[in-house]
Chain A
Amino acid sequence: MAETRDDVLPQQSLLFDHHHDGVDRRGFLKCMAWAGTGTLCVLNGGILKSFSLSGMSEIERAAAKGEMSFVQISDSHLGFNKPANTDVAATLKAAIERINALPVAPEFILHTGDITHLSKPEEFDAADQILKGANTQQVFFVPGEHDMLNDDGKSYLDRYGKGTKGSGWRSFDHKGVHFIGLVNVVNLKAGGLGSLGRDQLEWLEDDVKHLPKSTPIVVFAHIPLWSVYPQWGWGTEDGAQALGYLKKFGSVTVLNGHIHQTMQKVEGNVTFHTAMSTAFPQPQPGKAESPGPMKVPAEQLRSVLGITDVTYVRGRHALAVVDSTLG
């Protein structure tokens, strides 16, 4: 019933009533982004909000109020052993420990790709083993380019492709939120950026066509869908077309990885957020010769794998950001 009303009410009225619980109160989707550990999102309607993990009491209050929460982690690069971080398994474990310390267990984890460094079976195995330790129901993946290195993604898809289409894209609904996992790391063209491709775009258009515009949308993909820094390939060439299909929705949250640092922006009803890596930091756009792994003194590593929190108020476009570190 709420859904029907949503469709005819003006945008400003959509804040309260897209839940099926009949409770006519303002809900919110809270999103806690830890650089280095992950992003916890608590759903309680139309507002996306997140907090610093260091403010545990605030998180506790938020999580208790939420109807659903999930975590985003990214770029764990199992198998990487260069000076920037010689023990990426340990930092992924640390991320899982932070997740398990949450007052309310997240219902699932979204991993936004580069699970492994070289797509090797033993790297996937190691990641799976560590992720098994997470206190959550399920982990959803989208691949990074490092997960589809040598076999057109076969080993990735054998493992994580169940229920997905094409090179691994999918959508699912959870408690009134429509989640869309996109793949923008295959069939890249010389000189180009990340790419979704025509088949996936057609699928996406069809996937969201019949959804009420009040449906909160969460999109997750590896390479940023927005143009962060095209000079380093940090963007998706047909990302704008994908976002075009999502224009009608009042609340769209886009979660990406790939750039190993937190960035965010709000454009209309769309909030973009990139997560930090659980493995190693990368330089800020243009602040180094190349986007390669950034070496920091060992005692500082966890301080650059810090914490970022995002707050998004649906329909109001208000965004509050708190960054803090793990170290």
Chain B
Amino acid sequence: MNGKTALRALALSLVLALGAGAGSLLLGAGAAAGAEVKIDNFSFTPAKLEIAAGTTVTWVNRDDIPHTVVSNDHVLFKSKALDTDEKFSFSFTKAGKYPYFCSLHPKMTGEVIVR
């Protein structure tokens, strides 16, 4: 990713984060190697999360209904069903885009972008 693209991504993520409240979030390079995605109201927040390689993402289910976190390829990561307040973590080591969804409610989708 060149500087221009990164800047555009940052601008876009800010717009999304400010505008929708459920957009993407760009962690600063110096941020701790952990990020959280909240599952609530049948959606992932932020729906698009941008992180540095080596970051561990933790999903926490705040819904009254169980959800799962499954990479679209069904292979890279796949949580068990998370009941209320249960968590699932996965460490992203390689740059790339990682779309995922809830295999129980497949309309629930999200994406982790690793720089």
Chain B binds chain A: yes
Chain A residues closer than 8 Å to B64, beta-carbon distance? 82-84, 292-293
For the complex, what is the distance from the CA of A188 to the CA of B84, rounded to whole Å? Answer: 22
Q: How far is the CA of A290 from the CA of B41 in the complex (A)?
A: 5
Q: How many angstroms between the C-alpha atoms of A193 and B108 in the bound complex? A: 10
- B81 x A149 contact (CB < 8 A): yes
Known A290-B42, A292-B41; judge A190-B109 contact (CB<8 A): yes
A268 on the interface (CB 8 Å rule)?
no
A138 part of interface (Cβ distance < 8 Å)? no
Bound Cα distance from A78 to B104, whole angstroms: 17
Determine whether the beta carbon of B101 is less than 8 Å from that of A145: no
**Interface residues of A, count at CB 8 A:** 25
Could you tell me the distance in whole angstroms from the C-beta of B88 to the nearest C-beta in chain A?
12
In angstroms, how far is the closest chain A Cβ from the Cβ of B5? 25
How many of chain B's residues touch chain A, expressed as a range?
20 to 34
B66 close to A232 (CB less than 8 A):
no
Contacts A289-B41, A290-B43; A233 near B105 (Cβ below 8 A)? yes
Write the nearest CB–CB distance from A273 to chain B, whole angstroms: 23
Give CA–CA (A153, B1) in the complex, Å: 42
B89 within 8 A of A: no
Query: CB distance A118 to B84 under 8 Å?
Result: no
Q: Considering only CB atoms, which chain A residue lies closest to B100 in the complex?
A: A190
B72 within 8 A of A: yes
Tell me whether A192 and B80 are in contact (CB under 8 A): no
Contact assessment for B80 and A188 in the assembled complex, using a CB-CB cutoff below 8 Å: no
Is B21 at the interface (CB under 8 A from chain A)? no
- Would you call B66 and A233 a contact (CB within 8 A)? no
Residues of A within 8 A of B41 (CB): 289-290, 292
* Beta-carbon contact of A119 and B81 below 8 Å: yes
A190-B84 contact given A82-B64, A118-B66, A231-B107, CB 8 Å threshold: no
CB of A22 within 8 Å of the partner chain? no
> Which residues of chain A have C-beta atoms less than 8 A from B83's C-beta?
118
> Are A149 and B104 interface neighbours, CB within 8 A?
yes
Q: Which residues of B contact A146 (CB under 8 A)?
A: 66, 104
**B residues 22-71 with Cβ under 8 Å of A?**
41-43, 63-66, 68
Whether the Cβ atoms of A191 and B107 lie closer than 8 Å is yes
Does the CB pair B81–A188 fall under 8 Å? no
**CB pair B65 A293 closer than 8 Å:** yes
Report Cα–Cα, A69/B41, bound state, in Å. Answer: 39
Task: Indicate if the CB atoms of A190 and B42 lie closer than 8 Å.
Answer: no
> Is A302 an interface residue when CB atoms closer than 8 A count as contact?
no
The reply to whether A191 and B106 form a contact with Cβ atoms under 8 Å apart is yes
- What distance in Å separates the Cβ of B63 from its nearest Cβ neighbour in chain A? 6
> Beyond A84-B64, A233-B105, is A150–B42 a contact (Cβ under 8 Å)?
no
Q: Which of B63, B72, B84, B107 contacts A233 (CB 8 A)?
A: B107
Does A117 belong to the interface (CB within 8 Å)?
yes
A77-109 interface bits toward B, Cβ cutoff 8 Å, 1 = contact, 0 = none: 000001110000000000000000000000000
In the assembled complex, 29 residue pairs joining A and B whose CB atoms fall closer than 8 Å, in A order, are A82-B84, A83-B64, A119-B81, A145-B105, A149-B81, A149-B104, A188-B106, A190-B99, A190-B100, A190-B101, A190-B106, A191-B107, A192-B106, A230-B107, A231-B107, A232-B42, A232-B107, A233-B105, A233-B106, A233-B107, A289-B41, A290-B63, A291-B42, A292-B41, A292-B42, A292-B64, A292-B65, A293-B64, A293-B65
